[in-house]
C-alpha cells in the first residue's frame, strides 16, 4: 500500500468528518469516544485546528492512499521547546496493513526535518496492543504509566536525534 501524509487543509473537512463518523465505533474500542458534540460542532473545530496549526502550536496530517482515500490522521500537538505529543488514528479498513507504522515513521522524519523538533511523546492504553507495537517499531520507549479516561495506559518518548 502506497501512502502519503498531507498537512491538514480547509478542504479536507468533508472527508475527515466522514472518516471520523465511519470509524467512530472502531476507535471507541481502543480510545475514549469523542462524544456527539465533536460531530455536531465539527466545522468550528476544524477551523480551530487550522488556526492552531497556523500558529505553530500543532501540526496536523492526514494519511491518504494512492487514490486519495483517507486512511488515518497523524498529529503533533502541544509543540513547545522542541517537543510535541504524537497522536494517530488509522481507520479500520487500513488497520493491520503497516499504514500506522509507515505514517509514524514519516511524521517522525517531518518532526525533525521540517518542524525542528527533537523529542516526541505519545500515549496509548495498555489494551491497545497494535498501537504499542507501532510505537515500539518507531523507536519509542516506555517512560511511565498513566490513566487515559478510565483505562490504564503507557507514556512513551522518542529522541529524534537519529530519525531515518
Model confidence over 96-145: pLDDT tens digits? 889 999 999 999 999 999 999 999 999 998 988 999 999 999 999 999 99
At 151, which CATH number? 3.40.630.30
35 Cβ contact list (under 8 Å, min separation 6):
none
Q: How many domains does the chain have?
A: 1
**What's this model's pTM, rounded to 2 decimal places?**
0.90
Q: Vertex 141, ends 158 and 152: CA angle to 5°?
A: 115
Domain that holds residue 116: 3-162
Mean pLDDT of 74-84: 97
Q: What's the confidence (pLDDT) of residue 11?
A: 96
Residues 34 and 131: beta-carbon distance below 8 Å: no
Amino acid at each position: 500500500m502506497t501512502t502519503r501524509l498531507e498537512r491538514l487543509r480547509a478542504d479536507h473537512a468533508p472527508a475527515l468528518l466522514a472518516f471520523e463518523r465511519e470509524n467512530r465505533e472502531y476507535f471507541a474500542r481502543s480510545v475514549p469516544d469523542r462524544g456527539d458534540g465533536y460531530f455536531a460542532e465539527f466545522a468550528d473545530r476544524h477551523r480551530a485546528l487550522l488556526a492552531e496549526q497556523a500558529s505553530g502550536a500543532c501540526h496536523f496530517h492526514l494519511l491518504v492512499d494512492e487514490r486519495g482515500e483517507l486512511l488515518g490522521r497523524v498529529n503533533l500537538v502541544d509543540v513547545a521547546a522542541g517537543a510535541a505529543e504524537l497522536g494517530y488514528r488509522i481507520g479500520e479498513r487500513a488497520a493491520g496493513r503497516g499504514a500506522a507504522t509507515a505514517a509514524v515513521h514519516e511524521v517522525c522524519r517531518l518532526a525533525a526535518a521540517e518542524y525542528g523538533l527533537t523529542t516526541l511523546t505519545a500515549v496509548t492504553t495498555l489494551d491497545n496492543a497494535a498501537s504499542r507495537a507501532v510505537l515500539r517499531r518507531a523507536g519509542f520507549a516506555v517512560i511511565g504509566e498513566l490513566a487515559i479516561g478510565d483505562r490504564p495506559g503507557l507514556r512513551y518518548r522518542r529522541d529524534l536525534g537519529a530519525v531515518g
